[in-house]
C-alpha cells in the first residue's frame, strides 16, 4: 500500500506519517493535520459487508495508518473494540420508519467519544514507541462533557502518559461531571475551569502553539499531545462506524448495496460529521449531510450563508456537548471544499481570529451543496424525544433528539424520503432530566442520580453498568482553576 502522509490545513511545510501526526496532535502553524490524498478502497465490495466491526476497522484504518505494521494495528484494534462495548456489533442500528439510529454509546462512558478514544491511547503509545520518543506524553483535553470522561477512561494508567482534562464548571450535566471527578488512575488529572467550552478549548489550543512553553516542558521530559478531535487519530476511527452501519442497513435489506443514504449528525466540534464526509470521499454512497445544531447555531447560519460569524452570545442548552461556537474540525472541511488550498484556509482562520468572522469563496460554497444545516432549540428537542417515544417506543438522549428534530424539519421542507442514518451520540442516561421531561415525567423534586433510576423504570431499559451507583463513588478530583491559568496548572501537575 502506498505511504500516506499528513499535512497542515494552513501550510504545505509539514509532511508527517500517521504516527508523527498522532503524537504531535496539532500542526506547528496552528492548523490541523489532514491526509495528503484520500486513500482508495472499493466499499461496494460485498465481501466487506460480512466482516466483524474489528475486521472492518482493520481494513479502513490500514488505509490511513500506512506506517503501522499489520501486527501493530491489530494490537490497537483488539484492545480498543473488546468487551468494554456492551453490544457485539459495537455500534448497532435501531430503525424507526425511514430513519435508523446508529447507537454510538455502548462504550464505557456512554457517549460516542468512546468509539475513537478507546483506540487513540493505543495509537499514541504505539506511535511513540515507533518514533523512539523518550519523553513522557502529556495529553491535554478540553471537554464539553463527553470527551473528558472518554479520554480519562482511555488513558487511565496507560504507561508513559499523563492526562489532564479541563471542563467548564457550569457547562456539563451532573452525570457527566460525576463521571469525570470520580475517575480513577494514577495518571489522571481533572480541573473545572471558570468559563465555557470555547474558553477551555482555546486555552488548550494556545498551549499547543506556545513554542516557549513546549520547549520548557520538553526540558523537563514531557511532550504534549491532544485527545480532542483536532487529533487525526481520533477522526479516522470514526469513519469506520458509518461504513459499518451502512452495511448493517444493507444486511437488514433497508437499502440495497450501492443505494444512497442521508446522514444526520448532532454537531458541535464537527468531528463526527466530518468522519461521515471522509467516508463519502472513500466511496460510501451518501447523498446529503444534515448538520444539526442546538440554539448555538453558528453552523446552521454558515451552511445557509457561507459566513461563519462568532459574534453572538453563547447560550447553554440541554445538549451541552454541542454548546460550541468555534467548531474546530470545520477547518478540515474548509480545506477539502477549497480543493486543498492551505493559503485560503490560513487567511480564513486569521480573519476568524482578528474579526470574529469569515466568508468562504463562491467556489467553496458550490462545493458544499451536499450539506444542509438546521437547528432545534430546547423546546423542540424535548418535543422530539416525546414524539419518538410515543411513535416508536424508542428513547433517545437530548443530542440525538436535536438531530431527530432537524431531520423531521428537513423531510418536511424538502420531501426527501431517502433512507437516513441518524448518529445517536449519547445514552439517554447521561441526560436523564431532559429525557424524562420529554417522556412527560415530573422531575423537579429529584436529583440527576435519582432520575437515572427513574428513567430505567419509565423507559424499561436497564441502567448501564458504568453509571450504576455513580453517586456513591469517592470524588477524587476537586480542583477548579481560572481559564487564564492553564499553563501554571499543567506545570504544577507535572511537578
Ligand atoms: C461531542 C458530542 C457531540 C458533538 O460531536 P462533534 O464531533 O464535536 O461534532 C454530539 N453529541 C454528543 C453526545 C457528544 O458527546
What is the distance in A from the centroid of ligand 1 to the CA of 158?
Answer: 25
Q: 110's torsion region: left (phi>0), alpha (psi -120 to 50) or beta?
A: left
Alpha helix positions (H), 367-485? 378-392, 398-414, 432-438, 448-459
pTM of the model: 0.95
**pLDDT value of residue 1:** 57
| Residue with CA at minimum distance from ligand 1 atom 1 | 321
Taking alpha carbons only, the member of 64, 47, 119 closest to residue 90 is 119
Select from 200, 267, 276 the residue to mutate for testing ligand 1; criterion: most ligand atoms less than 8 Å from CB.
Answer: 267
Q: Does domain 93-109+233-463 have CATH number 3.40.50.1100?
A: yes
- Residue by residue, pLDDT tens for the chain (495 residues) are 579 999 999 999 899 999 999 999 989 899 999 999 999 999 999 999 999 999 999 999 999 999 999 999 999 999 999 999 999 999 999 999 999 999 999 999 999 999 999 999 999 999 999 999 999 999 999 998 889 999 999 999 999 999 999 999 878 888 899 999 999 999 999 999 998 888 888 899 899 889 999 999 999 999 999 888 889 999 999 999 999 999 999 999 999 999 999 999 999 999 999 999 999 999 999 999 999 999 999 999 999 999 999 999 989 999 999 999 999 999 999 999 999 999 999 999 999 999 999 999 999 999 999 999 999 999 999 999 999 999 999 999 999 999 999 999 999 999 999 999 999 999 999 999 999 999 999 999 999 999 999 999 999 999 999 988 888 899 999 999 999 999 999 999 998
CA of 314 to the centre of ligand 1 (A): 17
Angle at 487 between CA 482 and CA 490, to 5 degrees: 95
Domain residue ranges in the chain: 93-109+233-463
Q: Which residues line ligand 1 (CB under 6 A)?
A: 111, 113, 146, 229, 266-272, 321-322, 399, 425-426
Amino acid 493: pLDDT: 95
Supply the residue whose CA is at minimum distance from atom 14 of ligand 1. Answer: 321
Nearest atom, ligand 1, residue 145 CA: 15
CA of 129 to the centre of ligand 1 (A): 30
Q: Residue 324 Cα, ligand 1 centroid: separation in angstroms?
A: 10
For residue 197, what pLDDT is reported? 86
Cα dihedral sign, 466-230-318-368: negative
pLDDT of residue 162: 96
pLDDT given at position 174 = 87
Cα of 268 vs centre of ligand 1, distance in Å, is: 5
Amino acid at each position: 500500500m502506498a505511504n500516506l502522509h499528513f499535512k497542515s490545513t494552513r501550510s504545505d511545510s509539514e509532511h508527517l506519517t500517521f504516527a508523527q501526526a498522532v503524537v504531535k496532535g496539532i500542526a506547528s502553524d496552528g492548523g490541523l493535520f489532514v491526509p495528503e490524498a484520500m486513500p482508495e478502497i472499493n466499499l461496494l465490495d460485498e465481501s466487506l459487508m460480512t466482516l466483524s466491526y474489528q475486521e472492518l476497522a482493520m481494513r479502513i484504518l490500514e488505509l490511513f495508518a500506512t506506517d503501522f505494521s499489520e501486527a501493530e494495528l491489530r494490537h490497537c484494534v483488539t484492545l480498543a473494540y473488546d468487551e468494554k462495548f456492551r453490544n457485539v456489533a459495537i455500534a448497532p442500528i435501531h430503525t424507526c420508519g425511514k430513519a435508523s439510529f446508529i447507537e454510538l454509546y455502548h462504550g464505557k462512558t456512554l457517549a460516542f467519544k468512546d468509539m475513537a478514544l478507546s483506540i487513540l491511547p493505543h495509537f499514541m503509545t504505539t506511535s511513540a514507541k515507533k518514533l523512539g520518543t523518550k519523553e513522557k506524553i502529556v495529553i491535554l483535553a478540553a471537554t464539553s462533557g463527553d470527551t473528558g470522561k472518554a479520554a480519562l477512561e482511555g488513558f487511565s494508567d496507560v504507561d508513559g502518559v499523563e492526562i489532564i482534562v479541563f471542563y467548564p464548571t457550569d457547562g456539563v450535566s451532573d452525570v457527566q461531571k460525576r463521571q469525570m471527578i470520580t475517575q480513577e488512575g494514577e495518571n489522571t488529572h481533572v480541573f473545572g475551569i471558570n468559563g465555557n467550552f470555547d474558553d477551555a478549548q482555546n486555552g488548550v489550543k494556545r498551549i499547543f502553539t506556545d513554542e516557549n512553553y513546549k520547549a520548557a516542558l520538553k526540558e523537563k521530559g514531557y511532550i504534549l499531545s491532544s485527545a480532542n478531535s483536532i487529533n487525526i487519530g481520533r477522526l479516522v476511527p470514526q469513519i469506520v462506524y458509518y461504513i459499518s452501519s451502512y452495511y448493517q442497513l444493507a444486511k437488514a435489506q433497508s437499502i440495497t448495496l450501492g443505494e444512497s443514504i442521508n446522514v444526520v449528525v448532532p454537531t458541535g466540534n464537527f468531528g463526527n460529521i466530518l468522519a461521515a464526509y471522509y467516508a463519502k470521499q472513500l466511496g460510501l454512497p451518501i447523498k446529503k449531510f444534515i448538520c444539526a445544531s442546538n440554539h448555538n447555531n453558528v453552523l446552521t447560519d454558515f451552511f445557509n450563508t457561507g459566513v461563519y460569524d462568532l459574534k453572538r452570545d453563547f447560550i447553554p442548552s440541554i445538549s451541552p456537548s454541542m454548546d460550541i461556537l468555534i467548531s474546530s474540525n470545520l477547518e478540515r472541511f474548509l480545506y477539502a471544499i477549497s480543493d486543498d488550498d492551505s493559503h485560503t484556509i490560513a487567511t480564513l482562520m486569521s480573519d476568524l481570529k482578528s474579526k470574529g468572522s469569515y466568508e468562504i469563496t463562491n467556489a467553496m460554497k458550490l462545493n458544499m451543496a451536499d450539506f444542509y444545516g438546521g437547528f432545534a432549540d430546547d423546546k423542540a428537542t424535548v418535543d422530539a424525544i416525546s414524539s419518538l417515544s410515543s411513535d416508536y417506543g424508542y428513547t433517545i438522549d437530548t443530542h440525538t433528539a436535536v438531530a431527530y428534530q432537524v431531520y423531521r424539519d428537513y423531510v418536511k421542507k424538502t420531501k426527501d424520503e431517502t433512507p437516513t442514518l441518524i448518529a445517536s451520540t449519547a445514552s439517554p442516561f447521561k441526560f436523564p432530566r431532559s429525557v424524562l421531561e420529554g417522556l412527560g415525567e415530573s422531575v423537579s423534586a429529584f436529583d440527576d442520580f435519582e432520575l437515572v433510576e427513574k428513567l430505567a423504570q419509565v423507559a424499561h431499559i436497564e441502567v448501564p453498568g458504568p453509571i450504576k451507583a455513580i453517586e456513591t463513588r469517592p470524588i477524587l478530583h476537586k480542583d477548579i482553576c481560572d481559564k487564564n491559568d492553564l499553563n501554571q496548572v499543567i506545570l504544577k501537575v507535572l511537578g
